[in-house]
Amino acid sequence: MQIKQVKTRPFEGQRPGTSGLRKKVKVFQQPHYLENFVQSTFDAIGDFAGKTLVVGGDGRFYNRTAIQTIIKMAAANGFGRVRVGQGGILSTPAASCVIRKYKAFGGLILSASHNPAGPDEDFGIKYNIGNGGPAPESVTEAIYACTQDINAYRTLAADDIDLDAVGSFEVGDMQVEVIDPVADYAELMQSLFDFDAIRTMLAGDFRMAFDAMHAVTGPYAKAIIEGMLGAPAGTVMNGEPKEDFGGGHPDPNLTYAHELVEKMYGDAAPDFGAASDGDGDRNMILGNHFFVTPSDSLAVLAANADAAPGYQGGIAGIARSMPTSAAADRVAEAMGLDCYETPTGWKFFGNLMDADRVTLCGEESFGTGSNHVREKDGLWAVLFWLNILAVRQDTVGHIVQAHWQKFGRNYYSRHDYEGVDADAAARVLQNVRSQFDSLTGQSLAHRVVQACDDFSYTDPVDGSVSSNQGVRILFEDGSRIIFRLSGTGTSGATVRLYLESYEADASRHGLDAQDALADLIAAADYVSHLKQLTGRDKPTVIT
């Protein structure tokens, strides 16, 4: 087999974002486009000769084609081994698990997460380092620099391998192992949670539903929830991964997981409902006619961590992304733990975990996780909730309401304005920035503004600084209005508005979140001119 040196030229716009490089499929299908990015990644990451690369993805359209390309390029560039999920399938948390378990040099994960899939939709690729987590900015910037100077890439003239057959193959001098994508991850989950207690609960009157949204977690949920835990067949809805996710939008929220929501708010609703996203790293938790915000979910898991065997030795600390509500902060304070506020992006949690500063972490964007891997983990969160329910012998709603009575309730909501004009989105944030000085000390939404800023984070482990991470209006009573531009889309811009108000009075914990936040919602539009600039009279998604 012959190594080929293929001449190429740089493409514009190959800078990885918070979750790697995401573009439309047709962009990736351009000759040399994927190859340029892969070669640039290999050129940037260092001495990997003879070492192991993990490869897999969420099963979306173009996944299989990209994997065959990557395998040949890995062989040509000197990797000694590639571990790839059967069928090209490997959820993002499972990929992190495999990287860590087998001490791989790193991994390439093919996913655009919760974005739609298909020939006219989205594709993505990101590099994860040897700790199993997303590459830090120093690595992604090095990759981007290489994409700007590339003039050739290396590949191997070789046949495609059979991705559907578990076993070992040779591609040039490199060994390729097609692995069961579920086995290592399932073993890890069984070591963390009391499967016997969950199995006993599921064998009784308890009923649940898990919506895999025709994405990557279908095989994982069927193997673990229906297989190892004995839930009835059919508990996993939409469990077959499809290249277009069945035409759906695999984002586990109240808008896009509508089939599950209708079931959980319908007659004879199950006791517990959950959904995961395209690549398996997000989760939504529901009870019977009850929605658990991701912010509250993190706080409840932290407060009940000792219910799960894997966390009974105590947790080191808690971390949350800046836009996530401060509900977890109150738990950390009560438990005498450190709580870290980081920018959005799981890579910021990785440093804290590697330094043993935190055990549990989460983002308001339906991502929760722990130090078992270095990615957020949707199915892990579902199993954690099942473990708590099995121990507490109570309902989801009662557990959350009891939590509010003890710690107070952080009314919280996120309003997404998707696919808006990028210039208009930038003006929304600039409008708020221009009022920082005049707003401070003034009354807004019947509250006094304590401070305004553009959030900046200094990593306590490596000292790196991340600036311009979100525009904040902070009130003396702990309420917050936050504006951010999302980095996960592939077209237009998404303006995210976050609203939070703390309520200690238990008699006022039963309000609808949008009603409780109405004055902050109005104030946010007043200072930003959000609706006027975007031309939208309401958000695309409210969570």
Taking alpha carbons only, the member of 534, 453, 22 closest to residue 279 is: 22
Domain pair 3-179 / 409-542, same fold:
no
Check residue 515 and give its pLDDT.
96
Measured in degrees and rounded to the nearest 5, phi and psi for residue 482 equal -130, 140
Contact 61, 246 (CB under 8 A): no
pTM (2 d.p.) = 0.94
Check residue 488 and give its pLDDT.
52
Measured in degrees and rounded to the nearest 5, phi and psi for residue 251 equal -115, 110
Check residue 490 and give its pLDDT.
53
Q: Does domain 409-542 have CATH number 1.10.357.10?
A: no
Domain 185-406 sits in CATH at: 3.40.120.10
Q: Does domain 3-179 have CATH number 3.40.120.10?
A: yes
Q: How far apart are CA 83 and CA 157, in angstroms?
A: 20
Q: How far apart are CA 35 and CA 40, in angstroms?
A: 8
Half-sphere exposure of 200 (CA within 13 A, CB side): 8
- Chain segment 53-88, per-residue pLDDT in tens: 999 999 999 999 999 999 999 999 999 999 999 999
Q: How far apart are CA 499 and CA 49, in angstroms?
A: 49
Q: How far apart are CA 437 and CA 299, in angstroms?
A: 33
Check residue 491 and give its pLDDT.
58
Q: How far apart are CA 266 and CA 286, in angstroms?
A: 12
Check residue 541 and give its pLDDT.
86
| Conformation bin of residue 59: beta by default, left when phi > 0, alpha when psi is -120 to 50 | left
* DSSP letter, residue 225: I
For residue 508, the one-letter residue type is: R
- Chain segment 15-62, per-residue pLDDT in tens: 998 789 999 999 999 999 999 999 999 999 989 999 999 999 999 999
- Longest CA–CA separation in the chain, Å: 73
Could you tell me the residue ranges of all domains in the chain? 3-179, 185-406, 409-542
- Chain segment 410-462, per-residue pLDDT in tens: 999 999 999 999 999 999 999 999 999 999 999 999 999 999 999 999 999 99
Q: To 5 degrees, how large is the angle CA 509–CA 512–CA 515?
A: 110
Distance of CA 66 to the CA centre of its chain: 22
Distance of CA 245 to the CA centre of its chain: 17
Question: If DSSP codes are grouped into helix, strand and coil, which group holds residue 248?
Answer: coil
Taking alpha carbons only, the member of 412, 408, 297 closest to residue 361 is: 297
Contact 323, 361 (CB under 8 A): no
Q: What is the pLDDT along the chain (543 residues), one digit of tens a residue?
A: 689 999 999 999 999 987 899 999 999 999 999 999 999 999 999 899 999 999 999 999 999 999 999 999 999 999 999 999 999 999 999 999 999 999 999 999 999 998 999 999 999 999 999 999 999 889 999 999 999 999 999 999 999 999 999 999 999 999 999 999 999 999 999 999 999 999 999 999 999 999 999 999 999 999 999 999 999 999 999 999 999 999 999 999 998 999 999 999 999 999 999 999 999 999 999 999 999 999 999 999 999 999 999 999 999 999 999 999 999 999 999 999 999 999 988 888 999 999 999 999 999 999 999 999 999 999 999 999 999 999 999 999 999 999 999 999 999 999 999 999 999 999 999 999 999 999 999 999 999 999 999 999 999 999 989 999 999 999 999 999 999 998 555 557 999 999 999 999 999 999 999 999 999 999 999 999 999 999 999 999 888
113 is catalytic: yes
Which among 19, 96, 113, 365 is annotated as catalytic? 113
